Amino acid sequence: MKVYFISAKTRKTKMHTDVISLIEKFGYEAIFELIDANNSEDSKQSGFDLMIADVEQPSTGLGLSIAMTLANRKPVLCLYAEGFKDKWGILPPQKERYLKYLNVKAYNKNNLKDIVRDFLEEKGEQMHNRFNFFISSDISNYLDWIAFGRQQARADFIRRLVRDQMSGDKQYQGYLRNRVKEKKK
């Protein structure tokens, strides 16, 4: 799976290097590009599955790339440093119709790894598996309420419930440990 990482800054920073390393550490291919307003051709903008964008520097090219990715229904993680002053109003709105594809997160040196990992795990898995099931009307009504009342996608809510269950299931954790041991042999 390929992750397209873009920024409108004039040069590659330590944060960029850290994010690229994290993407690769979690088993994804990283495609990095510094873009500007004049760099809106589709050079690297096709053939990727997820996008991560450093949104601290305003750029028409950056905004266009994010918008095109969202229009293609691919997940985007927009990152900005904690304490960033949004003087130009460049941070993407989070309550738009593409909410399930758009994540906007403030990072610091302590939580950057967790933010990138969570995004890659949740959105990366969405790209791999699709699962349909039938539910009763009371469950459907509750999930509709979750989507409306909490502004959270139903699938994200269900996914979080399953992840919580997985993390507390000792039998499953033992199975995973055994599987890792078998792969090392």
Q: How many CB atoms lie within 10 A of CB 64?
A: 15
CB 51 within 8 A of CB 4: yes
Residue 128, token pair as written in the block: 């791999």
In the structure, what pLDDT confidence band is assigned to residue 52 with cuts at 50, 70 and 90? very high
CB 67 within 8 A of CB 18: no
Q: What are the domain boundaries of the chain?
A: 2-128, 137-184
Direct distance between the N- and C-terminal alpha carbons of the chain, in angstroms, rounded to an integer: 26
So what's the pLDDT on residue 171? Answer: 93
- pTM for this model (two decimals): 0.63
Asked: is 2-128 a CATH 3.40.50.450 domain? The reply is yes
125-167 confidence digits (pLDDT tens): 666 556 778 999 999 999 999 888 888 888 888 888 988 898 8
pLDDT above 90: residue 33: yes
Neighbour-count burial for 68-90, b at 16+ CB within 10 Å, e otherwise = ebbeeebbbbbbbeeeeeeeeeb
Sheet with 50-54, side-by-side order of all strands: 29-34, 2-7, 50-54, 76-81, 102-107
In the structure, what pLDDT confidence band is assigned to residue 93 with cuts at 50, 70 and 90? low
